[in-house]
Amino acid sequence: MNPTEIHTVIAILREEYKHWQTPAVTIVAQCNGSPFKILISCIISLRTKDEITALASARIFERAQTAESMVELTVEEISHLIYPAGFYRTKADQIALLSRKLLDEYDGTVPDEMDKLLLFKGVGRKTANLVVTLGFGKPGICVDTHVHRICNRLGYISTKNPDETERALRSLLPPEYWIEINDLLVAFGQNHCHPVSPRCSSCKLSEMCEKISVKVSR
């Protein structure tokens, strides 16, 4: 893929996005989601299907919407509320710990800086970038498995892991696309450009895509 074609790719994905289900964490952000809610939803979403993330997020936010109210819940209560999210017991511990840390060190306010967010247990670059971009509208590129896979599949970049992909995109991707690239590619990956047997025959990006590592498609 010619790097200059990224403008066409984004334009096509924006149109297609209207027909796809919006990622769960984005829905939280769109529904007056605070940075705290976005942070909690991000943690719940790791290795968890979107429909489960949406339901688990809704349940826990009925009980607690701030760090102050979250610390009033026991780890067992949090576990029950976010079940059956993947690794729900571990995530419940993380949610309880980060809520306490927010109160003790940040007066209950989620920081808007990557380096501070990364100090919280269970918060990696993907989560930190989502909080910074969706929660605060600051520049950042959230790279998850969909962004990493699809950018390499297109031939836009050639990287071995999400961290390399983030660095490559920060150098190559026009800044005006940084915040939305995650939403667009997550929805694209969930609905069309699947990890195995992507729907290449009906894909509007097919002519530009180099289909790197695609062995079987539909």
* Six token digits for residue 31: 């529904």
Residue 90 tokens read as 């571990």
- The reported pLDDT for the residue numbered 32 is 67
Across 104-121, average pLDDT: 96
- Return the closest-CA partner of residue 102 out of 77, 130, 125, 122: 122
CATH number of 24-136: 1.10.340.30
pLDDT of residue 140: 95
Task: Evaluate if residue 161 carries a pLDDT over 90.
Answer: yes
How do the domains of the chain map onto residue ranges?
A: 3-20+141-202, 24-136
From 37, 50, 91, 126, active-site residue: 126
pTM: 0.88
Tokens in use for 214?
A: 């695609």
Is 126 known to be catalytic?
Answer: yes
- Take residue 72 and report the two structure tokens written for it: 């009033």
Q: What is the mean pLDDT of the chain?
A: 95
Q: How confident is the model at residue 23 (pLDDT cuts 50, 70, 90)?
A: confident
Asked whether the predicted pLDDT for residue 33 surpasses 80, the reply is no
> What is the pLDDT averaged over residues 110-125?
95
Angle between helices 178-191 and 6-17 (to 10 degrees): 60
Tell me which DSSP letter residue 134 carries.
I
E-strand ranges in the chain read none
pLDDT of residue 22: 85
Q: What is the mean pLDDT of residues 77-102?
A: 97
Q: Which residue is catalytic, options 37, 50, 91, 144?
A: 144
Q: What is the pLDDT of residue 198?
A: 96
Q: Judge contact between 208 and 154, C-beta under 8 A.
A: yes
User: How high is the pLDDT of residue 106?
Assistant: 97
Q: Residue range 100-113: average pLDDT?
A: 97
| 3-20+141-202, CATH topology level | Endonuclease Iii, domain 2 (1.10.1670)
> What pLDDT is attached to residue 28?
81
Q: Tell me what the mean pLDDT of segment 150-172 comes to.
A: 97
User: Residues 190-198: what's their mean pLDDT?
Assistant: 95
Backbone angles phi, psi at 96, to 5 degrees: -65, -45
pLDDT over threshold 90, residue 10 = yes
Q: Identify the pLDDT of residue 29.
A: 81
Note if 204 is an active site residue: no
